[in-house]
Structure 1
Amino acid sequence: MKVLKFGGKSLASEHTFKNVIQIIENKSKESEIVVVVSAIGDTTDILENIAELAKNNQDYQSTFNEFKERVYHKDINLEAEFQLLSKLFEGVSLIEDCTPKIKDLILSQGEIISSRVLAKQLNAAQLRSVSIDSRDFIITDDSFGNAIVDESLSKSKTQNYFNELPLKIIPIVTGFIGATQKGETTTLGRNGSNYTAALLSNFLKAEELQNYTHVDGIFTANPDWVKNAQKIEELHFEEANELANFGASILHAKTIIPLLENSTPLRILNTLNPKNAGTLISAKATDNGIKSLSLQSDVSLIQFEGRGLLGIVGVDARVFTSLANEGISIGVISQGSSERGLGFTVKQSEADKAIKALQKEFEKDLYTKDVSGISLIDDIAVLSIIGQDLSTFDKPYAALVKNKIIPILFNNTVTGKNVSILVRKHEAKKALNVIHGQIFGVAKNINLALFGHGLVGGTLIDQILATASSIEKKKNIRLNIFAIGNSKKVLLNENGIGKNWREDIKANSENYQIQDVIRFANENHLENLIAIDNTASSSFVDNYISLVQSGFDLISSNKIGNTISYSFYKELRETLKRNHKEYLYETNVGAGLPLIDTIKLLHLSGENITKIKGVFSGSLSYIFNNFSIQDRPFSTVLQEAIEKGYTEPDPREDLSGNDVGRKLLILARELDLKNEFQEIKIQNLIPEELQAIDTPAFLKGLDKLDSYFEKQKQDLVPGTVLRYVGELNGDLQEEKGFLETKLIAVPINSALGQLKGSDSLFEIYTESYGDNPIIIQGAGAGAAVTARGVFGDILRLADK
């Protein structure tokens, strides 16, 4: 024999009702079955709401009439149930009170109606069925609202009752309800129908309990909140019990216990997908490890501080006894030393009652200030990791901290295999996703906000979108671009911006401040946030600290953030450190070459770097590599570089030497030097009369540069070529070094002289290597190269 239990959502519509009937028909052909039902759909909530309206002398009759007219109440005589409900609601209205006893009688009608409706429909489908009222054999005490079952008496009555049932008839049993020995109706508490089904499975020695719900089984997390949650195929009874205790909505904390006596397996199945094998819960041992994450969001945290109670025994007993006397159950507990500090959770609905009970118990202690405070924090969520070993908890904890989620309270069970943390309710969904991605090895969501969608930024966006699916397969990293902005407007989509982003920006972008992007990320619970600055804007840099403080890591191809005042440079790094955030900017110098990382590693290892010299600009490299050896005017070579996208839109940014100066300053600051930009000796290659005119005028008059640079080439000694270089030297162990950029002649057969195309080349001289520098060379210009370097920074951050 099998027991089949159908929840309210399995009976919520005509379509699901048909599925239930089909499942019952198929199962009845395989073996003898007993069916347990919850109230249909939202019936329990509706009945509770009508009672509340009646209690408050509001119009309850209209809502009650709507309830009676529901489609599944047609074609069946429910006059007796409706008359009883009518009398009960009228009485509640008269006395302006709904006692727990009356409330149980009201709510019980939901299950009774459900049982009768389903039995009627089964009989109409030629499946012999009978509605059975579980109050005839489930006997409880008189704890209305959460009654305790007398299992010995109930077992005897259940077995006698079912022995009297005719053969080949399908019993449709009411879940959730029982009765005292006096015949007073009681309810079994939250998810009590599951408990009823488990009791019947035990009493009738069922082969299996099959619990039909609206999902395919138990998942590693709530799939409504975590999109990549995975179904768990099998669980041991103990693991399921832990899940139930820690708030898994699909299980009741008392459901597992009745099944243990006969080791009756429990299978969680989907009414809408009955062919799915679901999740099997049994006595079979499963592999060790983390099984699932559960979340309770209807709790409050009470903090009890008794600084004057140090060394006094029995304080905890007084706390818990006073709460027990009020019928208040405690959840997660965390205690300080010597009973002087205690934090614990209670149901949010019972929080005020708990505070009053404690204030009454410790009234004298509060007066003498031995108890210094009893405080309440609402809007708390408890996130529990079932199967979490403390030895590996560092990773999920660190992931939370990196995402600006600081647990309020931490607790682990006696076994050390389950960990619970308290977080703010508004952070719960984000916390769940962060820990789930960290623990289960599924694709980790990396949410990207990209600012600047010009040549480099646009190329990067296209690169990400083109390779996102392959990166997810190879690295378990899901890159989600949720924001694309420029200096004025932004396009936002929490589910990801797609390949038509250029058209979408024109149609759907809106004016914004950086706080709008931060707020959007928070409201949509986006985790693992990275802000990417591909602008050349000095004003956008002002947003860096706000972004970091709001949980964003930073990546930038914009050099300004690292080259404005040293005070900002230090403030940003201190903010990064405080907030456990990263700032990557490998493309600031040398596009995508591994230059900055190399210098950082050398410096951190204690290597004394004595000089850095090289061609820092891929744009100027291309220009002088070609101009020096070709018989072409400078303006022609420059125009070619512009057309290839090697220069800034206004090439004076490159020719001024400021770009090389910034790059040189970035490397100096990596060595902890405190130089400022204005201290750099920079050779400006633009004639003074062309420095102040507007960009279009300058671009039209490029030939005005030809005579100046032709003279530079004519003055070259044979066997030499022109190179624009940057050099950092001096005593680099002091606070400041000497930084200089200039156009020089170098031997054509030297490392700098042999550069081709737009390559950059860097020579790093150190104390250990002496006169033999470390040389790093490669492509130093171009939107694709720079974008690929930024992309590399994104993947490096994502791995962390």
Structure 2
Amino acid sequence: MSNVALTVAKFGGTSVADHPAMLRCAQIIKSQPETRLVVVSASAGVTNHLVTLSQQSLSLEERSDIIENIRTIQKNITQHLADEEPLNVQIEDVLSNLTDLATQQNTLQTAQIGDAILSCGEQMSSILFAAVLRSIDVDGAAFDVRDVMRTNSLYGKAVVDLDELSNNCEQFLSPLLAKQVIVTQGFIGRDGLGNTTTLGRGGSDYSAALLAEATRATNLAIWTDVVGIFTTDPRIASSARAIPEISFGEAAEMATFGAKILHPATLIPAMRSSIPVFVGSSREPEAGGTQIRQQVDSKPTYRSIAVRKEQTLVTVKSPAMLHASGFLAKVFSILAKHELSVDLITTSEISVALTFDNPTGSTQALINKAVVEELEQLCEVSVEHGLSLIAIVGNGLDRSSGLGSSIFNNIEDINIRLICHGASANNLCFLVNENDANNVVETLHDKLFV
């Protein structure tokens, strides 16, 4: 397929939620002959049920009720298809395996079994979407992505072996793309032991990007429930509008700092292989969307405002820092030991302020007692919660005169807890109290995007 235009399309959970939604997506594929590889998430609602099965100790009745709810979601799709009975047999095979896994997990509570449970949603949606394609005369077939997506055994956030993925795609997947539309799963892989792994929740976009790179695709289309990437969250600012085009650098900043349209890792393979990315609505494909490219024609100072809530600020302070070397290395060594990733950092003569993302759905505090106790052996430590990170994304922000007055004069009554500026030409970030975040975003959007 390397000499032929190839588009990889990814459809999220709401896009494959039910039969009408799947049918809309199938029509998109039918209208675009160059789209040969389709990556799907689990049908909306299914993953939440699977998370409950994977994380909680449940009674037999509770487990049975959850699995029945999943069966209902999927059979509401099969009932509209001519090959309903054989499809139901395939779905029951997955559900039978899920029942066994959920029973084991109830006793063992292992990350390995948890990943196997979470993979079941994508397995079912790929089978069903291939059938919906066939129902409108598109030759579609489901393909198990685990046959090519080889990972390590870090369950829950597995790392993909890129070389093996590329070799496997060339050998097993690319030959199929010349014959029919292949529907496969996002989010999941397989380790060297043969166990199912997951790339982390939201990893379906990343899977699609990795597959686009490995199959040498010419385009990647992310189909979601909104018409492209917006200047900010329209639920916060009613004046938010879709962005026709955006550079990889700007989009990466947005994804990293809270814009929920793209998984933060999605753009890495696309940037690495210069694959243009399109983001559009599967409900309104005719409405256009956002093109993400290496180079864009428009480069406004302000492109968007992203917000990320539930941030933790850690300040470490010690007179030993003054004119001393090695202090920061010791701090970051402790953080690395606990696999903690720092987002923003500012320093003074004797203190350092660090921010950490504590995303919704986390099962435990990121900065726990053990981390604090280790840091306290070096210095004073203070931990603050209830903060939000605001990121102004644009171009040339590291050399824009009047930037401070344009932004901070408009929110002078808001307490700014931390400012990070200068490390990137594409962003200026600051922390505010979580209760002020929406007001700050709305105010700044109205001032900067007139």
Structure 2 length as normaliser, TM-score? 0.89
Conservation of the 8 A alpha-carbon contact between 1:218 and 1:279: yes
The CA deviation string for residues 305-334 of structure 1, in whole angstroms up to 9 with x for no partner, is 224543443222222222222222221222
For residue 125 of structure 2, what is the aligned residue in structure 1?
A: 114
- Tell me, yes or no, if structure 1 residue 318 matches structure 2 residue 330: yes
Question: 1:63 & 1:69 partners in 2: Cα distance?
Answer: 10
Question: 2:167 & 2:254 partners in 1: Cα distance?
Answer: 30
The CA deviation string for residues 653-680 of structure 1, in whole angstroms up to 9 with x for no partner, is xxxxxxxxxxxxxxxxxxxxxxxxxxxx
Q: 2:444 aligns with which of 425, 435, 457?
A: 435
Conservation of the 8 A alpha-carbon contact between 1:54 and 1:89: no
Q: 2:202 aligns with which of 191, 199, 224?
A: 191
- Tell me, yes or no, if structure 1 residue 299 matches structure 2 residue 311: yes
For residue 3 of structure 2, what is the aligned residue in structure 1?
A: none
For residue 19 of structure 1, what is the aligned residue in structure 2?
A: 24
Question: 2:405 & 2:363 partners in 1: Cα distance?
Answer: 33
For residue 636 of structure 1, what is the aligned residue in structure 2?
A: none
Question: 2:269 & 2:410 partners in 1: Cα distance?
Answer: 39
Q: 1:47 aligns with which of 33, 42, 50?
A: 50
Offset, 1:383: 0.9
For residue 410 of structure 1, what is the aligned residue in structure 2?
A: 419
Offset, 1:26: 1.1
Question: 1:148 & 1:347 partners in 2: Cα distance?
Answer: 21
Larger radius of gyration: 1
Conservation of the 8 A alpha-carbon contact between 1:333 and 1:345: no
For residue 385 of structure 2, what is the aligned residue in structure 1?
A: 378
Offset, 1:363: 4.8
Offset, 1:3: 0.9
Query: What letter corresponds to residue 32 of structure 2 in structure 1?
Result: K
SS of the aligned residue for 2:119 comes to: helix
Query: What letter corresponds to residue 27 of structure 1 in structure 2?
Result: Q
Offset, 1:413: 4.5
Offset, 1:13: 3.4
The CA deviation string for residues 450-495 of structure 1, in whole angstroms up to 9 with x for no partner, is xxxxxxxxxxxxxxxxxxxxxxxxxxxxxxxxxxxxxxxxxxxxxx
For residue 60 of structure 1, what is the aligned residue in structure 2?
A: 63
Question: 2:314 & 2:241 partners in 1: Cα distance?
Answer: 34
Query: What letter corresponds to residue 218 of structure 1 in structure 2?
Result: I
Query: What letter corresponds to residue 304 of structure 1 in structure 2?
Result: V
- Tell me, yes or no, if structure 1 residue 80 matches structure 2 residue 67: no
For residue 35 of structure 1, what is the aligned residue in structure 2?
A: 38
Q: 2:219 aligns with which of 201, 208, 217?
A: 208
1:563-574 alignment, distance < 5 Å: none
Conservation of the 8 A alpha-carbon contact between 1:318 and 1:361: no
Offset, 1:22: 1.2
Question: 2:65 & 2:95 partners in 1: Cα distance?
Answer: 14
Cα distance change on mapping 1:316 and 1:214 into 2, 3 Å: same
Query: What letter corresponds to residue 305 of structure 1 in structure 2?
Result: K
Structure 1 length as normaliser, TM-score? 0.51
- Tell me, yes or no, if structure 1 residue 3 matches structure 2 residue 14: no
SS of the aligned residue for 1:258 comes to: helix
Offset, 1:58: 8.4
Cα distance change on mapping 1:133 and 1:143 into 2, 3 Å: same
The CA deviation string for residues 268-293 of structure 1, in whole angstroms up to 9 with x for no partner, is 11111101221101122343321111
Offset, 1:250: 0.9
For residue 698 of structure 1, what is the aligned residue in structure 2?
A: none
Conservation of the 8 A alpha-carbon contact between 1:326 and 1:357: no
For residue 599 of structure 1, what is the aligned residue in structure 2?
A: none
SS of the aligned residue for 1:267 comes to: strand
Question: 1:196 & 1:79 partners in 2: Cα distance?
Answer: 26
Conservation of the 8 A alpha-carbon contact between 2:342 and 2:354: no
SS of the aligned residue for 2:221 comes to: strand
Question: 2:256 & 2:431 partners in 1: Cα distance?
Answer: 15
Question: 2:78 & 2:405 partners in 1: Cα distance?
Answer: 55
The CA deviation string for residues 109-136 of structure 1, in whole angstroms up to 9 with x for no partner, is 1111110111122222322111111111
Conservation of the 8 A alpha-carbon contact between 2:312 and 2:357: yes
Cα distance change on mapping 1:219 and 1:364 into 2, 3 Å: closer
For residue 102 of structure 1, what is the aligned residue in structure 2?
A: 113
Offset, 1:206: 1.5
1:640-651 alignment, distance < 5 Å: none
Offset, 1:172: 0.3
Q: Which has the higher contact order (CA 8 A, sep 6+)?
A: 2
Offset, 1:427: 1.5
SS of the aligned residue for 1:420 comes to: strand
- Tell me, yes or no, if structure 1 residue 354 matches structure 2 residue 357: no
Offset, 1:155: 0.5
Question: 1:415 & 1:63 partners in 2: Cα distance?
Answer: 46
Offset, 1:37: 0.6
Query: What letter corresponds to residue 409 of structure 1 in structure 2?
Result: L
The CA deviation string for residues 75-95 of structure 1, in whole angstroms up to 9 with x for no partner, is 322122111111111112223
For residue 333 of structure 1, what is the aligned residue in structure 2?
A: 345
Query: What letter corresponds to residue 378 of structure 1 in structure 2?
Result: H
Question: 2:259 & 2:59 partners in 1: Cα distance?
Answer: 33
Unaligned runs of 5+ in 2: 1-5
Question: 1:234 & 1:185 partners in 2: Cα distance?
Answer: 37
Query: What letter corresponds to residue 93 of structure 1 in structure 2?
Result: N
Question: 1:381 & 1:415 partners in 2: Cα distance?
Answer: 20
For residue 356 of structure 2, what is the aligned residue in structure 1?
A: 345
Query: What letter corresponds to residue 337 of structure 2 in structure 1?
Result: N
Offset, 1:412: 1.8
For residue 393 of structure 1, what is the aligned residue in structure 2?
A: 404
Question: 1:344 & 1:202 partners in 2: Cα distance?
Answer: 32
For residue 93 of structure 1, what is the aligned residue in structure 2?
A: 106
Conservation of the 8 A alpha-carbon contact between 2:254 and 2:393: yes
Query: What letter corresponds to residue 127 of structure 1 in structure 2?
Result: V
1:338-737 alignment, distance < 5 Å: 338=350, 340-347=351-358, 349=362, 352-365=365-378, 371-372=379-380, 374-387=381-394, 389=397, 391=401, 392-401=403-412, 404-441=413-450
Cα distance change on mapping 1:350 and 1:213 into 2, 3 Å: same
Cα distance change on mapping 1:52 and 1:360 into 2, 3 Å: same
Question: 2:422 & 2:134 partners in 1: Cα distance?
Answer: 49
Question: 2:35 & 2:417 partners in 1: Cα distance?
Answer: 51
Question: 1:134 & 1:298 partners in 2: Cα distance?
Answer: 34
Offset, 1:57: 8.5
Question: 1:153 & 1:214 partners in 2: Cα distance?
Answer: 33
The CA deviation string for residues 417-473 of structure 1, in whole angstroms up to 9 with x for no partner, is 4111111222211111011111111xxxxxxxxxxxxxxxxxxxxxxxxxxxxxxxx
Question: 2:213 & 2:29 partners in 1: Cα distance?
Answer: 20
Number of residue pairs the alignment of both structures matches: 428
Query: What letter corresponds to residue 35 of structure 1 in structure 2?
Result: V
